[in-house]
Amino acid sequence: MCMEEIAAAVCEGDDDNIVDLCRMALEGGATPSCIIKEGLTAGMMRAGEFFDSGEYFLPEMLISSMTLQKGLDYLVGCLEKESGFWRGCIVIGTVEGDTHDIGKNLVGAMLQAAGFRVIDLGIDVSAERFIESVGIYKPDIIAMSALLSTTMMNMETVIRRLSDRGLRDQVKVMIGGAVVNQRFADRIGADGYSENASQAVLLAERLICAS
Amino acid sequence: MGKKEQILLTLDGKYTGYIPVIPVANTFAARWSGKPMGEVMSNSELYAQAVIDCRKHFDYDGLWVNGFGGVAAALGQGLTDKFGQESLTGEGVILTRESLEQLHEFRADQDLNLDGMINAIRMMKEQEPDQPIFTVVSSPASTAAVMMDVGNFYISMIKDPEFVKEVIRRITEPLVESVKMLARAGVDVIWNPMPTLSGTCISRKLYEQICRESNMYFNEQVRKCGLRLVAHACGKWDDRFDLLFGEGNDGVHVSECNFQEVCQMYGKDTCIMGDIPSVPIMLFGTPEEVYQTAFGNCMEALSYGTFILSPDCGMPPDVPYENIEEMCRAARDAVEKIGK
Ligand code: B12
Ligand SMILES: [Zn+2]
């Protein structure tokens, strides 16, 4: 049972068979973290490349992501026993007033596939909930998504309140979504911005190394 | 010739010596009114007054009746959505074939949302009889996307395309019924935004296989009611403009495209609307940048056909007032330059 088959299943969105493939790999002696890295993640990264190059669109990406999720859900139980797997914790959410979640979910899935523990607060997340999450989950990073020009300013509110409460030094903040850019990230004092999900993984790695 | 006639003729492809400036200014007007946004958007009288006063103040063209989510709400209100909650808007309530059976019957004459819109239209016609009234109505496929939950809609497009087509069929007649009602109330133009069907989201192939037929049918019905139709090609449409421009729209409101190329290829037969980038230029740009972009758009488009100047998408509520004045000035200057 080779990892290539699992990667292909994720990339092609074969969600009906992914759990069986992962089980067979485990039975064959592969470790969960190896299956995640070399199978699931490799497949999702490949789908991401197809998306970036215009060969895949959202339907294809969402099916790949759903397949990835099924595989991860199946393996995560075994994974908790493998110590030192998670590379850091990221709280992610779409800011208040905004219900766009496709991009945020893809970013969350890629981060999870890359080995981050991802806590998804969902959509329409108030500044207060982001702040509370720092106390509850002790994340390394808060990741915020906004797709509307009317909601992007809510990112600034979160950052300002983190400072007001003396929490700003405890977490890094990264932002993304179609309306925001690096200039905006700098203006509101975020630690990083990235344009898409694969870049988001590299950004998270950079931010965690820096902290 | 009155303004309204000039604008409708522009949509019919006839240059009248005037370039209409029509920003999609519904939330903008609500904010401009100075009252709490939520209150204005949910009260048809406050809303209509804001739109009328704001238009007069800046002297752009067109009145916008508040976005129409009526059919989704009328069919799906109270059903369980993807979060397991009772839906107020009808969004995300058609997750399975079984849920299709649970949709309510649609009665245009009993729809409260339509009632509010008709009230707003009446006020607009009374106070501004010489301005065309635009309203936002999404196509059957876009409405299906919202009612199915967009993520589920996309996944089903590949896994169960027949299901998606069935949902689209089920939604089409209620949409046509409400358009007829709006036409009777006095709306002039239907503006149909299609961000979820763009090349930003789905492939040309899926668009062609699943969405196009219902778009064409819907467009035909709208035009049978005597209404003009503007499709908003929101997002990337470069790979499918040939399809869109062949679907029977009077105007196409473009966004992320090669503007000159689109005008050159399609401007002769269809009125083009656009193309000032809403966020980087209208919202964050300087007045000079707005003027330059707007003036450039007018000059380019007018050399091929008729044109309506507008931001490339809905106008953000916080756009600086000076930028709107510069947009209007650019259109007047372009007419001076081209000649009446
Ligand atoms: C799908 C969609 C919807 C769906 C949302 C479904 C859902 N569950 O998400 C529905 C139909 C419900 C919807 C509703 C609305 N939408 Co909408 N929508 C879109 C659309 C077509 C695609 C968005 C999308 O999913 N893109 C695909 C994903 C993969 O891209 P992405 O989100 O940008 O994410 C990528 C990157 O940005 C980045 N990223 C994203 N988040 C993060 C976070 C971090 C931390 C990082 C590092 C990176 C990152 O990585 C992602 C993957 O590569 C866009 C058009 C567009 N051009 O973006 C409009 C768009 C965003 N919507 C828009 C609007 C106006 C609305 C509405 C107000 C009403 C309306 N009339 O359409 C409502 C608002 C609802 C609300 N309160 O939020 C406007 C926003 C205009 C503006 N600049 O403000 C857009 C641009 C369309 C338009 N031009 O009209 N919408
Ligand atoms: Zn748009």
Confidence (pLDDT) at B68: 56
Ligand 1, CB within 6 Å, residue ranges: A 58, 97-104, 106-107, 143-145, 147-149, 174-179, 194, 196-197, 200; B 67, 146, 150-151, 193, 195-196, 200-201, 234-235, 279, 313-314
Residue B105, C-beta contacts closer than 8 angstroms, at least 6 positions apart: none
Please tell me whether residues A137 and A181 are part of one structural domain. yes
**CA quadruple B65, B68, B73, B75: dihedral sign:** positive
Q: What size, in residues, is chain B?
A: 340
Please tell me the distance from the alpha carbon of residue A187 to that of residue A166, in angstroms, as a whole number: 20
Amino acid at site B63? L
| Residue of B157, B278, B317 with shortest CB distance to A59 | B157
Please tell me the distance from the alpha carbon of residue A155 to that of residue A144, in angstroms, as a whole number: 7
Q: How many CB pairs under 8 A join A and B?
A: 38
Atom of ligand 1 nearest to the CA of A101: 9
Please tell me the distance from the alpha carbon of residue B256 to that of residue B237, in angstroms, as a whole number: 8
Please tell me the distance from the alpha carbon of residue A23 to that of residue A78, in angstroms, as a whole number: 11
Residues in chain A with CB shorter than 8 Å from the CB of B160 are none
Confidence (pLDDT) at B108: 79
What average pLDDT does range A167-184 have in this prediction? 94
* Chain B nearest CA to A62, separation (Å): 7
Please tell me whether residues A74 and A110 are part of one structural domain. no
Tell me whether residue B53 is exposed, middle or buried, using C-beta atoms within 10 angstroms of its C-beta: 0 to 12, 13 to 18, 19 or more: middle
Please tell me whether residues A77 and A135 are part of one structural domain. no
Does residue B214 contact residue B140 with C-beta atoms inside 8 Å? yes
User: Which residue in the block uniquely carries the two structure tokens 């238009």?
Assistant: B55
**Residues A14-62: tens digit of each pLDDT:** 999 999 999 999 999 998 888 988 999 899 989 989 998 999 999 999 9
Q: Which CATH number is B166's domain given?
A: 3.20.20.210
Q: Three-state DSSP class for B160?
A: coil
Cα A103 to averaged position of ligand 1 atoms, centre (Å): 8
Confidence (pLDDT) at B340: 67
Please tell me whether residues A53 and A122 are part of one structural domain. no
Q: Check whether A81 has a pLDDT greater than 70.
A: no
Please tell me the distance from the alpha carbon of residue A89 to that of residue A53, in angstroms, as a whole number: 30
Tell me whether residue A170 is exposed, middle or buried, using C-beta atoms within 10 angstroms of its C-beta: 0 to 12, 13 to 18, 19 or more: middle
Atom of ligand 1 nearest to the CA of B312: 89
E strand or H helix at B155, and its extent? helix B150-159
Please tell me whether residues A75 and A93 are part of one structural domain. no
**End-to-end CA distance of chain A, in Å?**
39
E strand or H helix at B295, and its extent? helix B287-302
Please tell me the distance from the alpha carbon of residue A123 to that of residue A13, in angstroms, as a whole number: 25
Structural domain total, chain B: 1
Please tell me whether residues A178 and A204 are part of one structural domain. yes
Interface contact B202-A150, CB threshold 8 A: no
Interface contact A150-B27, CB threshold 8 A: yes
Residue with CA nearest ligand 1 atom 82: A148
Residue with CA nearest ligand 1 atom 80: A148
Please tell me whether residues A133 and A175 are part of one structural domain. yes
Confidence (pLDDT) at B67: 60
For B37, which residue in chain A has the nearest alpha carbon?
A: A150
Please tell me whether residues A61 and A114 are part of one structural domain. no
Q: Which CATH number is A48's domain given?
A: 1.10.1240.10
Last residue of a domain, one of A55, A81, A107: A81
The answer, yes or no, to whether the previous bond of B275 is cis (omega within 30 of 0) is yes
Please tell me whether residues A71 and A96 are part of one structural domain. no
Q: Three-state DSSP class for B64?
A: strand
Structure ipTM:
0.89
For A151, which residue in chain B has the nearest alpha carbon?
A: B316
Question: What are residue B272's phi and psi, to 5 degrees?
Answer: -100, 140
b/e map B3-28, b = 16+ CB within 10 Å: bbebbbbbbeeebbebbbbbbbbbbb
- Find the domain containing A205 and state its range: 88-210
Most informative mutation of A147, A152, A198 for ligand 1 (most atoms within 8 A of CB): A147
Interface contact B155-A63, CB threshold 8 A: yes
Assign A174 a pLDDT band (cuts: 50, 70, 90).
Answer: very high
Please tell me the distance from the alpha carbon of residue A65 to that of residue B196, in angstroms, as a whole number: 19
Residues in chain A with CB shorter than 8 Å from the CB of B67 are none
Residues in chain B with CB shorter than 8 Å from the CB of A187 are none
Q: Check whether A150 has a pLDDT greater than 90.
A: no
Please tell me whether residues A109 and A177 are part of one structural domain. yes
What average pLDDT does range A91-106 have in this prediction? 93
- Find the domain containing B241 and state its range: 3-338
Please tell me whether residues A75 and A95 are part of one structural domain. no
Cα B278 to averaged position of ligand 2 atoms, centre (Å): 9
Please tell me whether residues A104 and A202 are part of one structural domain. yes
| Residue of A57, A102, A179 with shortest CB distance to B151 | A102
Confidence (pLDDT) at A87: 85
Residues in chain B with CB shorter than 8 Å from the CB of A58 are 154, 201-202
Q: Three-state DSSP class for B159?
A: helix
Which of A11, A56, A58 is the best mutation test for B, with the most CBs of B within 10 A? A58
- Which letter does DSSP use for residue B190 in this model? E
How does pLDDT run along chain B (340 residues), one tens digit per residue?
A: 899 999 999 999 999 999 999 999 999 999 999 999 889 988 999 999 999 999 999 999 999 997 656 889 889 999 999 889 999 899 999 999 999 999 999 887 777 678 888 899 999 999 999 999 999 999 999 999 999 999 999 999 999 999 999 999 999 999 999 999 999 999 999 999 999 999 999 999 999 999 999 999 999 999 999 999 999 999 999 999 999 999 999 999 999 999 999 999 999 999 999 999 998 899 999 999 999 999 999 999 999 999 999 999 999 999 999 999 999 999 999 999 987 6
What average pLDDT does range A109-117 have in this prediction? 86
Atom of ligand 1 nearest to the CA of B313: 89
Does residue A66 contact residue B155 with C-beta atoms inside 8 Å? yes
Q: What is the pTM of this model?
A: 0.90
Q: Three-state DSSP class for B121?
A: helix
Atom of ligand 1 nearest to the CA of A199: 47
What average pLDDT does range A98-124 have in this prediction? 90
- Which letter does DSSP use for residue A178 in this model? T
For A101, which residue in chain B has the nearest alpha carbon?
A: B151
Last residue of a domain, one of A62, A81, A100: A81
Q: Which CATH number is A149's domain given?
A: 3.40.50.280
Interface contact B151-A62, CB threshold 8 A: yes
Structural domain total, chain A: 2
Does residue B1 contact residue B218 with C-beta atoms inside 8 Å? no
Last residue of a domain, one of A61, A81, A101: A81
